Amino acid sequence: MPAQAVEVGNAADIAEGAVRVVTAGGTRLALCKYRGQLYAIDDVCTHDGGALGQGELIDNEIECPRHGARFDIRTGRPTCLPAVVPVRTYPVRVDDEGRIFVEVGS
Alpha-carbon span 26 to 71, nearest angstrom: 22
Q: Are 62 and 32 spatial neighbours (Cβ–Cβ below 8 Å)?
A: yes
Peptide bond into 2 cis (omega under 30): no
Alpha-carbon span 106 to 32, nearest angstrom: 22
Contacts of 96 (CB under 8 A, 6+ apart): none
Mean residue pLDDT across the chain: 94
What does the longest C-alpha to C-alpha distance in the chain come to?
Answer: 40
Alpha-carbon span 19 to 39, nearest angstrom: 10
Instruction: Give all domains of the chain, ordered by start, each with its CATH number.
Output: 4-104 (2.102.10.10)
pLDDT-based confidence at 50, cuts 50/70/90?
Answer: confident
pTM assigned to the model: 0.93
- Range with lowest mean pLDDT among 18-22, 36-40, 49-53: 49-53
Total count of residues recorded for the chain: 106
The DSSP 8-state label assigned to residue 54 in this structure reads: G
pLDDT-based confidence at 25, cuts 50/70/90?
Answer: confident
